[in-house]
A = this chain, B = another copy of it.
Amino acid sequence: MKCFVTGGAGFIGSNLVDRLLADNHEVTVYDNFSTGALSFLAPVLRNKLTIIEGDLLNDFHLLREMDGHEIVFHFAANADVRFGIDHPGRDLEQNTIATFNVLEAMRKKNISQIVFPSTGSIYGESNIIPTPENAPFPIQTSLYGASKLACEGLIEAYCEAYNMQSWIFRFVSILGERYTHGHVFDFYKQLSSHPTYLDVLGNGEQKKSYLYVQDCISGIFHALNTSNDYVNIFNLGNFNYCKVNDSIKWMCDYLYLDPELRYTGEDRGWIGDNPCIHLDISKMTKLGWEPTVTIKEGVIKTVRYLENNPSILERK
């Protein structure tokens, strides 16, 4: 298949591209390289991969480049949940409007299939833990979640209106190789510069679920191969969750460090932070998929990756 991957030079996108190329598909990566990196694609540079530098807000360029493809993996996004309130328009532009541009280009180019990474953040602070896909209608607590919810709605309405087909995945936080932001990144960066103490947002008791990026990719392809509704929505996460304090301990044990932990103390790390994200993944496991890497292993793999790629730390 001829696959168009927005954000294909990013963390999850580039791991997805690896898999598409391994499966012998033709791939076009469309990325503005704001957080993605050409080096993430270097191991797979070959005939079947085309890389285009472009921005999804440039709808004319996007439209031209999308021509001739059969499926779109729309993985470009502003994924920075935490700083949403400092830039209230960013999620709207880079997620909602960008997704609209992708859908419009697909409609005009008669491309009918889209794969979209959404987020567990759209459940807000659900009363149901673990949270299933058909949880009660949520109240949004972050601009990031609100923007991804808007994207889901747009995709669903396009499927209804223009006979498209979509696979929407609500992710927990993803860990692993090419990871470039999030709490493991922040903690590792802090410990690299001052190994004797660690500043922790919140009280460390926030419960979060994490999924290793290769499990995430395998889940996406498993669902693509086994589900065929016009709108297919799946949670992708791990069986369980950990506390932020757990991941700190795993990291410190691995690094042989014993830093002073300096908590800011609230039950949330920041405004809009959800103190408990744990998704019900039974809809996926009933299809025969399951995660193979524990959260602890995922954290350690991520730290190992950051150790071996110190230049990543300089990028932010």
Contacts and interface: CB of A to CB of B under 8 A. Distances in A.
Interface of A: 84-85, 88-89, 92, 96-97, 100, 103-104, 107, 123-124, 133-143, 145-147, 149-150, 152-154, 156-158, 160-162, 231, 233, 271-272
A101 to B, nearest CB: 10
19 contacts: A84-B161, A88-B103, A88-B104, A92-B100, A96-B150, A123-B137, A135-B136, A135-B137, A136-B136, A140-B156, A141-B156, A142-B161, A143-B154, A143-B161, A145-B157, A146-B150, A146-B153, A146-B156, A150-B153
Nearest to A270: B161
A83 to B, nearest CB: 11
A137 B138 contact: yes
A133 B137 CA distance: 7
B143 A157 contact: yes
Contacts of A137: 123, 133-138
A65 B55 CA distance: 34
Contacts of A136: 134-137
Contacts of A97: 92, 97
A222 to B, nearest CB: 21
A283 to B, nearest CB: 12
Q: Which one of A92, A134, A138, A139 has the greatest number of beta carbons of chain B within 10 Å?
A: A139
A150 B88 CA distance: 14
Given A88-B161, A146-B157, 16 more contacts: A84-B161, A88-B104, A88-B107, A92-B97, A92-B100, A97-B97, A136-B136, A139-B156, A139-B233, A140-B157, A141-B156, A141-B157, A142-B160, A143-B157, A145-B153, A150-B154
A145 B133 CA distance: 19
Contacts of A153: 140, 145-147, 149-150
A124 B152 CA distance: 13
A23 B240 CA distance: 54
A136 B143 CA distance: 21
A233 B134 CA distance: 19
